[in-house]
Amino acid sequence: MAHNRLTQLLDQYTSGYSLAQSFYTDPLIFEADWEHIWKKYWLFVGSTAEIPKPGNYFTYQAHHDSVIIIRGDQGEVHALYNTCRHRGSLVCLEERGHTSKLMCPYHQWVYNKDGSLFKARLMPGDFDKSAYGLHPVQVRVVEGLIFISLSSNPPDFDKVVQDFAPFVKPYKLDQAKVAYRKRYELRTNWKLIAENFRECYHCGPAHPEYCRAVIGANLTESAAQVLPERQQAWERKGLSVKGIDFENDSFHFAVRYPLRPGVESYSTNGKAVAIPMGDHTDFDAGVLGLVCYPNFWMDAVSDYVWTMRITATSASQCLVDLTWLVDSQAVEGQDYTIERLTDFWRITGEQDWKLCENNFKGIESSHYGPGPYAPVEADVAKFVDWYIDRLREGVSTAVAF
Ligand code: FES
Ligand SMILES: [Fe+2]
């Protein structure tokens, strides 16, 4: 029944138009999104800068699965299902912390950082500890960015590593400093955020600060004239400039674009808000934008990196976790202040959250129906096509969901 309904909805989809209401509001579709996309693809969880030392960990709630991400003794990153192999209790109850061993709070089974079972008190002498380690989660680290997949057979990630690594390397994210984190709980569907971040049709009216910083964001001018000269300058500095396009059979892209002349950073007055980050020696790197669907966005300027992790928690809700990273040597109060560092994205992000929440409310109307995308929204149409194709792929290989 559910399977038929989904198939029917997918059959009714018209490319070039926004999705039917159910795709945004129906709990059944939310489950399908998790089944065919979120549990299959690669999810950004955070950066290695958040767990600088062995034993540092954080947890990530991915629908029903809590995952522990912990730094091992050799600096490696482990991702483990947070469910005790005894009777299933959560092992880590905290969202982040530090521990030399992971101890289940229920009957105190103790696990090593790599998930292997270290001690199981009062179990018989012939109990085989090696068979009861925490289940591993697939994990990949790209120059300090940590991605996990809940699938045992996830899509190939090598291309993402290959494409992202040269762009991210100069920021030296592994040694970066987490300057600030902020969480938003939004009443919207995750796809409306993904769509919002794929067009600048709304930027002129909605984002005065963003338009002051980025050439072409208001769609009344173009960066094409300055781009070749900027790209040559970036190349001379050894920065990657060749964008990675989003294709229907991929799930990521990368782009570097210029700020307006004289604008040094994503900040409310155009001036730098921290010291140059990693290998950068000036404030002339433009903006590096990375996206990996379904949940990772990153914008990096010469002096800071901003990451956005989205988590779909229901059809009508999602969590947005923002993190600002600065150079390891940057000193708060001296080289940066939280207010100046975070102003730009707090203001711009909050403008977007409002748009996305209003979009969702309007879509709940009895009179909502798919509307046509403008030519400047071609990338949104591409994302929505990609999304529909992933569900189609999923239902064609699943018996039912
Ligand atoms: S459930 Fe973890 S030790 Fe019993
Ligand atoms: Fe926006």
Domain 1-46+172-401 has CATH 3.90.380.10: yes
The yes/no answer on whether domain 47-141 falls in CATH 2.102.10.10 is yes
Find the 101 Cα to ligand 1 centroid distance in Å: 14
Per-residue confidence (pLDDT) for residue 401, from 0 to 100: 44
d(CA 196, CA 339): 25
Q: Which residues line ligand 1 (CB under 6 A)?
A: 84, 86-89, 104, 106-109
65-118 residue pLDDT tens: 999 999 999 999 999 999 999 999 999 999 999 999 999 999 999 999 999 999
Asked if omega into 375 is within 30° of 0 (cis), the reply is: no
Pocket test for ligand 1, best of 84, 92, 103 (most atoms within 8 A of CB): 84
Mean pLDDT confidence for 157-172: 98
Q: What is the per-residue pLDDT across 3-18, written as a single tens digit (0 to 9) for each?
A: 789 999 999 999 999 9
- The CA 95 to ligand 1 mean position distance, Å, reads 19
Instruction: Tell me which residue has its CA closest to atom 4 in ligand 1.
Output: 107
Asked whether residue 400 carries a pLDDT value surpassing 60, the answer given is no
Q: Which residues contact 94 (CB under 8 A, 6 or more apart)?
A: 59
Distance (Å) from CA 51 to ligand 1 centroid: 25
**Cα–ligand 2 centroid distance for 120 (angstroms):** 51
Kindly report, residue by residue over 252-287, the tens digit of the pLDDT: 999 999 999 999 999 999 999 999 999 999 999 999
Pick the atom of ligand 1 nearest to 104's CA.
2
Residues 20, 363: contact at Cβ < 8 Å? no
Give, for ligand 1, the residue of 80, 85, 92, 104 to mutate: max count of ligand atoms closer than 8 Å to Cβ. Answer: 104
Q: How distant, in Å, are the alpha carbons of 103, 116, 231, 311 from that of 255?
A: 43, 40, 11, 23
Q: How many C-beta atoms lie closer than 10 Å to residue 17's C-beta?
A: 14
Domains in the chain: boundaries: 1-46+172-401, 47-141
